[in-house]
Amino acid sequence: MIPILIFLALTPTITTIAMFDPFFLKIFFVAIFLGFLAGPFGTVVVWQRMALMGDMLSHSAILALVLAHFSSLPLLVIYLIFSSILGLIFHYLRFQKYHPEQLMMVLSYAALSIGIICVSKLQLQTIKFNQILFGDLLSISGEDIFWMIGGGIFLLANFIAIWKPLLLMTFHEELARVEGVPVGFLKGILTVLLGGVIALSIKIAGALLIVGLLIVPSLSAVRLSRTPEGMVIRSSIFGAISAAGGCICSFYFDWPIGPAIICVSFGIFCLTLLRKN
pLDDT recorded at residue 269: 93
Task: Give yes or no for a contact between 40 and 161, defined as CB atoms under 8 angstroms apart.
Answer: no
- Domains of the chain with bracketed CATH: 2-273 (1.10.3470.10)
Is a pLDDT exceeding 70 seen at residue 219?
yes
- Cβ neighbors of 271 (< 8 A, separation 6 or more) are none
Q: Could you tell me the CA-to-CA distances from 204 to 92, 141, 186, 272 in Å, in that order?
A: 31, 12, 28, 25
Is a pLDDT exceeding 60 seen at residue 13?
no
**Span 169-178, mean pLDDT?**
86
Among residues 55, 63, 50, 46, the alpha carbon closest in space to that of 106 is found at 55
Report which secondary-structure segment, H or E, holds 154: helix 142-161
Report the range out of 8-17, 68-77, 90-99, 164-173 with the highest average pLDDT.
164-173
**Where is average pLDDT lowest: 25-34, 61-70, 126-135?**
126-135
What CA–CA distance (Å, rounded) separates 49 from 135?
25
**Span 192-213, mean pLDDT?**
84
Task: Give yes or no for a contact between 58 and 125, defined as CB atoms under 8 angstroms apart.
Answer: no
Phi and psi at residue 97, to the nearest 5°: 70, 30
Express each pLDDT in 71-113 by its tens digit: 777 777 787 787 778 777 777 776 666 777 777 788 888 888 8
pLDDT recorded at residue 265: 94
